[in-house]
Amino acid sequence: MLISEILNKIRPTFSFEFFPPKTKEASEELYQTINTLVPLEPSFVTITYGAGGTTRELTRDLVIRLQRDNKLTVVSHLTAVNAPKDEIYQFYKNIRKMVW
């Protein structure tokens, strides 16, 4: 569901925001943590897309996994710092292809 639809339909709306994992181990730990929060039925969750490019793949993989496994609406905050336009576009294109 789109965030605009969530904000218009669901009251009250609440979400959880997470910093990007920096290692594969941290990504798995964050995945498990978010799974423990799923029963609270957040309207959506957000994960910051790592600035500087150091955690982009971990964030991408985690977003895809969470949406696939939990049917959560997951938002990835795209950070354009040090990222060429075509790289951001490719990230978006890959997420759309894998999730929708």
Which amino acids are annotated catalytic? 17
User: 18: closest CA among 55, 69, 53, 52?
Assistant: 55
User: What's the Cα-to-Cα distance from 56 to each of 44, 59, 63, 78, rounded to whole Å?
Assistant: 20, 5, 11, 9
Q: C-alpha distances in angstroms, 17 versus 24, 37, 84?
A: 19, 12, 25
Closest by Cα among 78, 30, 85 to 56:
78
Contact (CB, 8 A) for 96 and 90: no
